[in-house]
A and B are shown apart, each in its own frame.
Chain A
């Protein structure tokens, strides 16, 4: 059975290489039959990788412990969702998922083709197939998921208890899908370079796939934060761990890429930026995988050394050198023929945003690699902790929020300072009032008041932008506001999608500022019956209960909670000890409201049932998750946008 999976991997590798070569050559020589055949190869590759994935899943589900992978990540007592998720718990399995997603996206790309970019498709599919071939090569020859053990163990090691959380089921696949999807913008960009396309029409494909990757990366990052918050039991959601950073940087670069594409589509600017960002975005996930899975840096997420280093370095070099050579050969496509944007215009706003995004990613990347850099530079291993990132990245993100607010109400081309100021008047006034109230009426620190005021400013601008769009439509067509809203929503889905996403970013910013600046925390030791208060909450420690299931020993503390005198229920923080690995897992208890989260960690206990708690009140955390929902919703609306570009192009379908 497992042999079938392995053979499918090897065959898949061969098919990918053949399809890539035939596709490329067929399009170069204009042989439609060859390219059609290569497309069948895409489907075949998808079928083969799917087959091998099914074989692995079947082995996981049926406890085929002869396979090293199954024995390493599952055990007999695991429930089926976690058995299934063990598919991507290890290095080999997650690479197989990556390869599967790549071939899946390749199939979608072939089925979802547009008439006007038909000639690009063979080149693009060639690039995707080559990338898939790289992953299949790794799987077939370096980290075979179907490797067998000499002796079949009676039971497996089981999944690390920390991974047994619903987050495990959605977070890794979402991130991997984002990583894999970043191959497609790259493929289309390379295809456009090879085919010498100078028009803007192919940008529709580029935008579509970049947006898909962006949506997956957003979901992946927010889910990762949520998982850390509810499962890892340290009260935070983001620790600037190398692996977190390496999934954050692709998100930032993809965001910059989206803005660059918009600028190029609507104004014809920024071509070289777009291509450059596409190349960077494609290589980042490869770099991320290389860093996190080859022992270069230590991190909580790290995989142990897997021997994939040289292969990854080789692939990254190809992934950088080939596009750069191609870019050089095709440099005539990028000759600057436009005037630079006036200082006060949406164009320069977009360009500023892009520069800032690039700088942020560079800083985070350098800081992540800093231990490595400082060691190579001859010093000892220097680390940059979360405080560095918060001090440096925090203010930059506030500037981004400010730019969101300004750009929302700024027009393309030229603006005079006066009209802009007049338009921004209302948001500015609201922001000032809010900021001053926070700073003086309540005793909020200055920079927090400024941060919240900036968020209010940006949110206000976006709402005014929406209002103006609806009003313009209702005046132009004499429609009532509701109908105008519906009409303008379906007419400019991209813009509304962007507004929703930007509102989501602001919500996340509010959540991050509130929870990081205004958290109160208390460590207490309580005997049964004693109570403690934090802010308006009173927690009474009622009882400590323990029970043992077959594989775990659970201890839970029962606390009844009152909010300003009103009972709001019980919180039961737990510690679960997994007996086979002797690994304790903290299960925090959270009482979550829109205003704030009450977060209780059971730290430990002694024989007389005196227990140790860490209690936190973290304001506005829920807004981060809601903001994440906005990102998804807005992204989907923008993705659903009509294919037509705004200007009525002569070519392109209707």
Chain B
């Protein structure tokens, strides 16, 4: 039931927000809402934070473009009211690279899932980070391939059950912030999908920062991953994640590994500067001699 408000406030409220218009509707393709994600899915909250960040950038919406891949998270492109590209599995980053290099005045970001970006797409992530292409990558990590029914992925924790590891996962998951930092990303952060304000702030910083930025979002997948590992509803899962995580800003990315007996480390880990791909390309003529290794270095004892 709506609270009883005075006539004055009711009129003012109605003027600012007519009843069924949500403040984030301007960036949603309203004819596609409600979306396909399960009740309480972390992707929804991450998407909400992303919209908050997009509004705060102050960038003209015509100058923004989102590229996504295949999977539950990849469906974001279909719901964002921007130039949006829903591409093939694992290849969102090179599509975004092509778009950004052809139209550098656009702010291009990738919003996709961990299976898409790091299993099949791992190679592309590595090189775009190495090149320091000026895009932001927002990766929702729900620790499995959700859309196809919950198979094991490169980020499934050891021992977890998935539809293709019915006896438990024998492999070790990736440490995404460490990988991103090692490949040369200039901004690396990780938050829970519940940490909506910190996540929105990180996404905002990533979008405005020149260079390759990476934000990981740990999200519950109650329908696939949660069900097979008896983690309960989305609410139970996010409360569990909240209890089992700790914020350690600035810590070395190697310490952000997700393993048994260790709390999941959240925070902003890397925020540095490196020339972007196009900045370096523009200065090609200034590069010194390419003879390497240098003789004088080789002759040092």
Please indicate whether A and B come from the same complex rather than being unrelated chains: no
Interface residues of A (CB under 8 A from B): none
Interface residues of B (CB under 8 A from A): none
